[in-house]
Structure 1
Amino acid sequence: MAEQPAGIVYSPASGTHHARPGRASGFCYLNAPVLGILALLDSGIDRVLYVDLDAHHGDGVEDAFADDDRVLTLSVHEDGRWPFTGKAEDRPDAMAVNLPVPPAFNDTEMDYLLETVILPMGRAFHPQALVIQTGADALAEDPLSRLELSNGALWRAVRALMGLAPRLMVVGGGGYNPWSVGRCWAGIWAVLNGIDPAVPPTPEAEGVLRSLSWSRAAGRNPPEHWFTTLADAPRPGPLRDEVRRVAAAAITKMVRTG
């Protein structure tokens, strides 16, 4: 496991990455990641890495800091999904790297982007603080994306990233299946505390999971493992050419912009 940062803040309710200075957007009234990054900059920190793992492009955060060389934003999100921004070729001269991925994006492909793009760029930036947005809507059971990640893919990403800076802020984000959200974010808490998340929930936690309700069809007859496990089954898959091209475009951009 990566060495733990000296300071960690975990705020699952603070991943509201779409809001703008003068208006709400995408279920977000205040842009908590932007406010958190501004607080870090105001404290004297001058290199902040922002990594957005939500199924939707972190447009509000990118727009806030696109022209600020103190902040590097990296967003992994479903291509062609609302807010329909975050193309790989967008903002060619900005401190923003976009990784728009195809539907059915799987654990193998997430691990590939982490190892070939996100971690190398993060290390090269030498951040003094790191902010990770961990939207659970990229998981396979979520109704608002067509991505196919397991929660283990997000846990591995957080575990790998958390040693890149001495200060770490982890926020939640999207997520519209209450069981996948709760299980994923509980596992992130475990990762941040050096605890193996792939263990059965305690009886008290299972009671919380069994008490949840969801009006969609999947919520009327939820599978038993949503109550009795925290870890999803791994969801590996093929490493497709579309994902390789996204990675290559991001690397080319960062080499060009320095």
Structure 2
Amino acid sequence: MKKPVFIYSEQLLNYKFNDDHPFNHFRVKLTYDLLNSMGALTEEQVIPPLEACDEQLALIHDRAYIEAVKKAGEGDYDESASLTFGLGTEDTPIFPHMHEASALIVGATLQAVDMVMEGKATHALNLSGGLHHGFRGKASGFCIYNDCSIAIEYMRRKYGVKVLYVDTDAHHGDGVQWAFYDDADVCTVSIHETGRYLFPGTGQITEKGQGKGYGFSFNLPIDAFTEDESWIELYKTSLLEIADYFKPDVIFTQNGADAHFLDPLTHLCSTMKTYDTIPRLAKTIADAYCGGRWIAVGGGGYDIWRAVPRAWARIWLVMNGIEASGPLPSTWLNKWQKKSPVTLPETWEDRENAYKPIPRKQEITEKNALTLSKALYLIRNEKRT
């Protein structure tokens, strides 16, 4: 098989904290069904996931933490002890069989890695993944096991490759950054809303790596209410320069869809123009530097009906060279409008003037441009010398 692969099973939806929690993996099913409705998925491209084993989880996570997750999911936990592991908080509540649900997501991402790195697929997508806030011994920000970090460490050990990690979630990719902060073989790039008003509060321009990893951590914290034009300019300019500087063997992208203007948890104003640009450039980088090797995962995204399915579907469409514009499939709209609490969009694109004009647009654009310049200072200074 040389086509892209889509890692999916309804078992991946078992990662569910409770009915009221904003992190809702039903969005993965909605995206899968949208792609099916337009005939963009073939049976041979859909690969069911396998659960990651403890040894794989321990590539990043402490054994004591893994055991704590297991016990918590079995109902065998002490509240105060669990809290030291970040379990049982408002962000990351305990739910039955949480270890198995989390390990399955990790396994799905590792399958995506193996399919690409063994040459069985050109690209691979696991939309259930992207849990970038998980730490070595602590859950954080809706994330229990950090499938991104585990997958990167897995690639480094098994395949000996240099990995370019690109995170376009509105929240800083802190767990992945800190896991490889002193590693020269992993370059992390995070474009996110400034932590001034948004979790986790990290991701400053000054976070550039340390030791051997100095100069391989890039952060572009952008201002609240940033719109498409400025966002895309930062993304294109930074990724092209960083890829040329780092020259990766493989690109791994985390595709949070929470920078969309409809997202209820963030303050950015991207539209589907941004989410059309993100995978197109990722594929360009993969083709130019990595022999096409590109693994993509999901991430944040909390408007699960109107924003996430369209944004995530575009990743798969770009992987397969399929163009989509105009009306969404009527079969998908008719099926899900009955269950949606909001009116579903009828087209792939967002309508013009979908939100109120931002009065500080020029100021925000100039501030973001300065952020870009500072973030890339090391690269640009090196070129001058």
1:129 to 246, 250, 275: 250
Instruction: Give secondary structure in 1 for the equivalent of 2:317.
Output: helix
Structure 1 match to 2:239: 118
Identify which of structures 1 and 2 has the higher relative contact order when contacts are C-alpha pairs closer than 8 Å and 6+ apart: 1
Of residues 131, 145, 150, the one that matches 2:266 is: 145
Match of 2:204 in 1: 87
**TM-aligned CA deviation for residue 245 of structure 1:** 0.9
Identity across matched positions, percent? 33
Report the equivalent of 1:161: 282
Distance 2:127 2:268 in 1: 21
Select which of 126, 133, 142 maps to 1:11.
126
Alignment of 1:30-45 (within 5 A): 30-45=145-160
TM-score (norm 1): 0.87
Partner of 1:25: 140
1:25-52, CA deviations, whole angstroms, 9 ceiling, x for partnerless residues? 0000111111221222123232110110
AA of the residue aligned to 1:31:
N
- Where does residue 206 of structure 1 map in the other structure? 333
> Unpaired runs of 5+ in structure 2?
5-115
Unmatched tracts of structure 1, length 5 or more: none
What is the aligned partner in structure 2 of residue 174 from structure 1? Answer: 300
| Contact 2:191/2:235 (<8 A) preserved | no
Equivalent pair of 2:165/2:188 in contact (CA under 8 Å) = yes
**1:97 corresponding residue in structure 2:** 218
Instruction: For 2:188, give the aligned amino acid.
Output: T
Letter of the 2:333 counterpart = E
Does residue 251 of structure 1 match 2:376? Answer: yes
1:196 to 323, 336, 341: 323
Q: 1:245–1:201: structure 2 CA closer, same or farther, 3 Å change rule?
A: same
Q: Which amino acid aligns with 1:60?
A: G
Query: Any conservation in 2 of the 1:10–1:171 contact (CA below 8 Å)?
Result: yes
Any idea what the Cα deviations from partners look like across 1:71-103, whole Å, max 9, x if unmatched?
100000001211000011124643210000001
Higher-Rg structure is: 2
When the two structures are aligned, how many residues end up with a matched partner? 246
How big is the alpha-carbon RMSD for the aligned residues of Structure 1 and Structure 2? Answer: 2.3
Letter in 1 for 2:133: H
Q: Distance in 1 between matches of 2:147 and 2:273?
A: 25
CA distance in 1, matches of 2:171, 2:352: 22
1:117-143 CA distance string (max 9 Å, x none): 122211221111001111011000001
Moved more, 51-60 or 143-152: 143-152
1:242 aligns with 2:360: no
Which amino acid is the alignment partner of residue 201 of structure 2? Answer: F
